[in-house]
Amino acid sequence: MRYAHEVGKVRAAEQALMARLPEGALMRRAAAGLAATCARLLPGVYGARVVLLVGGGDNGGDALYAGAGLARRGASVVAVLASDRFHREGLAALRTAGGRVLKAADTGPVGAAIEDADLVIDGLTGIGGTGALREPYAGLARRTEDIDAIVVACDVPSGVDAGSGRVEGAAVRADVTVTFGTYKPGLLIDPGAAHCGVVELVDIGLGAHLPDPDVVAAWPVDLRVPQPGSESDKYRRGVVGVLAGSERYTGAAVLCVGGAVHGGAGMVRFASTPHPVELVRHHWPEAVTTVIDRTSAALEQVGQVQAWVVGPGLGTDEDAEALVEAVLSTDLPALVDADGLTVLARRRDLLRREAPTVLTPHAGELTRLLGNRTPRQTIEARRLECVQRAAAELSATVLLKGSTTLIAEQDRPVRVNPTGTPRLATAGTGDVLSGLIGALLAGGMPAIEAATAGAYLHGLAGRLAAAPPTDGPSGPAPGREAPISAQDVVTALPDAFRTLA
Ligand SMILES: NC(=O)C1=CN([C@@H]2O[C@H](COP(=O)(O)OP(=O)(O)OC[C@H]3O[C@@H](n4cnc5c(N)ncnc54)[C@H](O)[C@@H]3O)[C@@H](O)[C@H]2O)[C@@H](O)CC1
Ligand SMILES: [K+]
């Protein structure tokens, strides 16, 4: 797992640690880690041209000390001061080591130094950055676009909100981000995450002072999907019931069942109206299908299951509402998606239940679920805050889809899915995800684990479908990317599962 802490908690931990250390020791630790990474990234330190972009706070101080360290090893270091305020001891250390200093207003020499640099350290703002970068910070951040130099962000790429990943204006796009003590949520959540490049964590000794994390990103080693044992039979491995599709919308049913079949369910029971049932039988002969009388919504017609998925392509009429109500009246884990969420938005009373409920909205669906009080754009801009609020208000496990999928459950760290790809933003992939998570729920995984593993495998399947590995001279590597369909994601799921072995 990658653990991230809210900025306030990072500051509190730093205070606690600093109280036990000599003045400035913590900053020098951070700067030494930053300098070591920069040295590794350069073909050689001696003679390398390094530019420091230096803001008025301690982030700039880190950059100055790191620059001093590189200058002592023979690098040619230029600091560009963005503010009349700067870290005095840091600047003195740089000067002593032979570094040069420019002001941001010296635009000609600053531009030339950045153009000629081998490596740029971005020390404009770190966890103290708030709102859109102001000038001259913003202009300096823009100057790092499309340059040949390696761009290394100190702690957080400047312009990225460390707490949330929001980017409101110009922001540095780093090749590498060297972060101190713990990850910050903004390094794991888009759009911030997309600005970080490779993130390296430098241990500055904060660990003992940090509370439980606020956000975690799951890595394959953390994911434990149900494995069939020698005594498994199809009933013990978990039977998932899928209620999806309608005479009007049939594709969602086929894709959702596909996700469940390839998600490792022992058996998939599918129930719907005649046309989707016919199509599912055709595509997925493994599924046990039932044509149900929607008006009666009697789930006994479908047979025994261990978890339900309801919603994709279901329609939003009264019959659909009766099916959602029937599922949520059971004491089984249930996942509600798509049309099911639209129904739930007008029937939030159905969420009062004991068994686990997983909701998988995109931002627009979450707006409706939250009673249209929070516009879609706000949810997209403040994804972390909104998913946490939704989990608390709706008493459910909420998986918010988007460029970084987030999964929240009340009083638990928010999970961030690291495998997403923009290629997945295509019709029908959400239906695959709900079937997949349903299968994992039926296999006995707790709701947050099933949602986390489902999002991970789904993203990875999307990546593998877009760029299957090809054999290169140094072993298998991702091939060129191609557009993908939701069916391709279903097909790639077994390969995604195999990576977890
Ligand atoms: N507190 C500590 O013990 C440690 C802090 N460290 C570093 O210190 C950083 C935090 O330092 P600070 O609290 O001084 O804050 P920062 O240096 O991150 O940011 C504050 C500075 O940025 C300016 N600023 C903020 N938002 C701006 C905007 N939108 N446009 C333009 N200027 C803006 C402020 O005027 C101020 O000068 C961390 O990110 C980390 O790099 C590390 O040295 C490790 C130890
Ligand atoms: K920075």
Is 207 found in the same domain as 241?
Answer: no
Region of 308 (left: φ > 0; alpha: ψ -120 to 50; beta: rest) is beta
Is 286 found in the same domain as 147?
Answer: no
Q: Give the integer Cα–Cα distance in Å for 47 and 73.
A: 9
Is 192 found in the same domain as 246?
Answer: no
Mean pLDDT of the chain: 94
Q: 265 CB contacts (<8 Å, ≥6 apart)?
A: 237, 238, 239, 240, 438, 439, 442, 443
Is 166 found in the same domain as 309?
Answer: no
Element (H, E) at 151: strand 150-154
Is 289 found in the same domain as 205?
Answer: no
Annotated binding site for (6S)-NADPHX: 58-62, 126-132, 137, 155, 252, 313, 362, 431
The torsion angle over the Cα atoms of residues 88, 90, 92 and 98, rounded to 10 degrees, is -150
Per the domain annotation, does 396 fall within a domain? yes
Q: Give the integer Cα–Cα distance in Å for 432 and 430.
A: 5
Is 246 found in the same domain as 177?
Answer: no
Nearest to 155 by CA among 119, 135, 183, 194: 183
Q: 440 CB contacts (<8 Å, ≥6 apart)?
A: 225, 226, 263, 264, 449, 450, 453, 454
Q: Give the count of domains, the chain.
A: 2
Read off the tokens for 417.
């899915």
Inter-residue contact 257 to 279 (CB < 8 Å): no
- Specify the 3-state DSSP secondary structure of 80: strand
| Average pLDDT estimate for 208-213 | 95
**Which among 217, 250, 283 is the end of a domain?**
217
Per the domain annotation, does 477 fall within a domain? no
Q: Which residue has better confidence, 270 or 223? A: 270
Note the pLDDT tens digit of each residue in 309-326.
999 999 999 999 999 999
Give yes or no for residue 157 CB within 6 A of ligand 1: no
Q: Which atom of ligand 1 is nearest to the CA of 125?
A: 18
Per-residue pLDDT band for 394 (boundaries 50, 70, 90) equals: very high
Read off the tokens for 312.
């994709």
Give yes or no for residue 57 CB within 6 A of ligand 1: yes
**Which among 184, 217, 250 is the end of a domain?**
217
For atom 19 of ligand 1, the residue with the nearest CA is 128
Note the pLDDT tens digit of each residue in 141-174.
999 999 999 999 999 999 999 999 999 999 999 9
Q: What is the pLDDT of residue 478?
A: 82
Per-residue pLDDT band for 385 (boundaries 50, 70, 90) equals: very high
Per the domain annotation, does 474 fall within a domain? no
Is 281 found in the same domain as 187?
Answer: no
**How many separate helices (H) and strands (E) can be counted in the chain?**
17, 20
For residue 6, give the CATH number of its domain.
Answer: 3.40.50.10260
Instruction: Check whether 220 has a pLDDT greater than 80.
Output: no
* ipTM value: 0.98
Q: Give the integer Cα–Cα distance in Å for 244 and 260.
A: 12
Is 213 found in the same domain as 236?
Answer: no
Per the domain annotation, does 470 fall within a domain? no
Annotated binding site: 58-62, 122, 126-132, 137, 155, 158, 252, 313, 362, 401-405, 430-431
Note the pLDDT tens digit of each residue in 341-375.
999 999 999 999 999 999 999 999 999 999 999 99
Give the angle 156-162-163 at the CA atoms, nearest 5°.
160
| Average pLDDT estimate for 111-130 | 97
Is 210 found in the same domain as 239?
Answer: no
Ligand nearest the Cα of residue 132 is 1
Q: Give the integer Cα–Cα distance in Å for 42 and 202.
A: 18
DSSP state for residue 486 in the 8-state scheme? H
The least confident of 96-100, 297-301, 464-468 is 297-301
194, amino acid identity: A
For atom 15 of ligand 1, the residue with the nearest CA is 128
- Specify the 3-state DSSP secondary structure of 241: strand
Is 208 found in the same domain as 110?
Answer: yes
Beta-sheet strands, E only, within 23-124: 49-54, 76-81, 100-103, 119-123
Per the domain annotation, does 443 fall within a domain? yes
**Which among 193, 217, 241 is the end of a domain?**
217
Per-residue pLDDT band for 422 (boundaries 50, 70, 90) equals: confident
Inter-residue contact 338 to 346 (CB < 8 Å): no
Per the domain annotation, does 223 fall within a domain? no
Per the domain annotation, does 295 fall within a domain? yes
- Percentage of the residues of the chain whose pLDDT score is greater than 90: 86
Give yes or no for residue 154 CB within 6 A of ligand 1: yes
Per the domain annotation, does 383 fall within a domain? yes
Per-residue pLDDT band for 24 (boundaries 50, 70, 90) equals: very high
Note the pLDDT tens digit of each residue in 454-500.
999 999 999 999 988 888 777 778 888 899 999 999 999 999 999 98
Inter-residue contact 237 to 264 (CB < 8 Å): yes
Is 243 found in the same domain as 149?
Answer: no
Strand 215-217 with 2-4, pairing: antiparallel
Q: How many residues does the chain have?
A: 501
Give the sheet arrangement for strand 49-54, strand by strand: 100-103, 76-81, 49-54, 119-123, 150-154, 176-180, 198-202
Q: What is the pLDDT of residue 229?
A: 73
For residue 235, give the CATH number of its domain.
Answer: 3.40.1190.20
Is 352 found in the same domain as 244?
Answer: yes
Range(s) of the domain holding residue 193: 2-217
**Letter string b/e over residues 340-356, b meaning 16 or more CB atoms within 10 A of that residue's CB:** bbbbbbeeeebbebeeb
Read off the tokens for 271.
């129930």
